[in-house]
Chains A and B, each alone.
Chain A
Amino acid sequence: DTGVSQDPRHKITKRGQNVTFRCDPISEHNRLYWYRQTLGQGPEFLTYFQNEAQLEKSRLLSDRFSAERPKGSFSTLEIQRTEQGDSAMYLCASSLLAGGIDEQYFGPGTRLTVT
């Protein structure tokens, strides 16, 4: 499978714990995006990388959230001191920024439940 992959697919954690999610983009894609989706809403942008550089962070991304893409390939999203409001689907997308329309392809997501 050459699509975007995410791990884990599901995570249940207790409030106050730290969690880390991983995203592996399509191999030749240079852009990687993180989104969050709650029930009944479309995905909301969190942050994105071009290669290893983090170029933009949403105001949704509080100080408890951090994302990295150390070698310009896979990325991790860490949430510290989780809160119940963090419960959501966390989606990763990748794209190849190269002229024309920039089409983003999504991974299956990590569903986080904070109890």
Chain B
Amino acid sequence: RKEVEQDPGPFNVPEGATVAFNCTYSNSASQSFFWYRQDCRKEPKLLMSVYSSGNEDGRFTAQLNRASQYISLLIRDSKLSDSATYLCVVNWEYGNKLVFGAGTILRVKS
């Protein structure tokens, strides 16, 4: 089993749509969780940290289910500029390496 698993997509959605990505992780002792966004041939950029209670940042909502070892990202009112690869990321131990999923490709079309 991969340490962090994501559906690679691509998810092709029209502007204004709501889209959700899911991710599962194998280490039940994982401490911290993140979503990063990566544009083609660029570095990953931190989109948001994921808190146990769930958190929202504008059009983006992240949820964590520790019992099921599952993380989700919801994007509302998709914009063309949201087109990117979304990386689910888990920190095995606080202050230690990040373990990345392979990413989910999102394409938002007009």
Contact A108 B96 (CB under 8 A): no
Q: In the complex, how many residues of chain A place their beta carbon closer than 8 angstroms to a beta carbon of chain B?
A: 27
Query: Which of chain B's residues have a CB closer than 8 A to the CB of A106?
Result: 43-45
Assuming A31-B95, A42-B87, A45-B97, is B46 touching A104 (CB within 8 A)?
yes
Q: How many angstroms from the CA of A40 to the CA of B38 in the assembled complex?
A: 11
Q: Which of B96, B98, B102 contacts A41 (CB 8 A)?
A: B102
Q: Does B49 contact A (CB under 8 A)?
A: yes
- The contact string, 1 if C-beta is below 8 Å from chain B, for chain A 2-18, is 00000000000000000
Contact B43 A42 (CB under 8 A): no
List the interface of chain B (C-beta within 8 A of A).
4, 32, 34, 41-46, 49, 87, 89, 91, 94-103
Q: Provide a sorted-by-A list of 20 A–B residue pairs whose CB atoms are within 8 angstroms.
A: A33-B98, A35-B98, A41-B102, A42-B87, A42-B101, A42-B102, A43-B44, A43-B100, A50-B95, A56-B97, A58-B97, A95-B95, A97-B95, A101-B32, A102-B94, A102-B95, A103-B49, A106-B44, A107-B43, A108-B42
